Amino acid sequence: MKKQLIFRMAAFLLLLVGVVALSNRTAHAGSQENAANQVKIDNFSFAPATLTVAPGTTVTWKNSDDVPHTVVSDDQVFKSKVLDTDEKFSYTFAKPGTYPYFCSVHPKMTAKIVVQ
Partner 1 sequence: MSDYIIHNPNNDGIDRRGFLKCMAWAGTGAACVLQGGVLKSFALGHSHNGHVGSLKGELSFVQISDSHIGFNKPANPDVIGTLQAAVTKINALPTPPEFVLHTGDLSHLSKPEEFDALDQVLKSLKTSRVFYVPGEHDVLNDNGKQYLERFGKDALGQGWCSFDQKGVHFIGLVNVLDLKAGGLGNLGREQLEWLEKDVKHLRSSTPIVVFAHIPLWAVYPDWGWGTDDGAQALSHLKRFGSVTVLNGHIHQTMQKVEGKVTFHTAMSTAFPQPQPGTAPSPGPLKVPAEQLRNLLGITDVDYVRGRHSLAITDSPLTT
Nearer to partner 1 by Cβ, of 109 and 115: the residue is 109
In the complex, what is the shortest distance from the CB of residue 84 to partner 1, in angstroms, rounded to a whole number? 6
Which one of residues 23, 24, 34, 43 is an interface residue with partner 1 (CB under 8 A)? 43
Q: Does 32 bind partner 1 (CB under 8 A)?
A: no
Can you list the pairs that 48-52 forms with residues at least 24 positions away whose Cβ atoms lie under 8 Å?
48/111, 49/110, 49/111, 49/112, 50/111, 50/112, 50/113, 50/114, 51/111, 51/112, 51/113, 51/114, 52/113, 52/114, 52/115, 52/116
In the complex, what is the shortest distance from the CB of residue 65 to partner 1, in angstroms, rounded to a whole number? 6
The one segment of 11-19, 26-34, 89-97, 107-115 that binds partner 1 by CB under 8 A: 107-115
Q: Does 66 bind partner 1 (CB under 8 A)?
A: yes
Q: How far is it, in rounded angstroms, from Cα 44 to Cα 109? A: 6
Alpha helices in 32-98 (DSSP H): none
Q: Does 81 bind partner 1 (CB under 8 A)?
A: yes
Size of residue set near partner 1 by CB under 8 A? 22
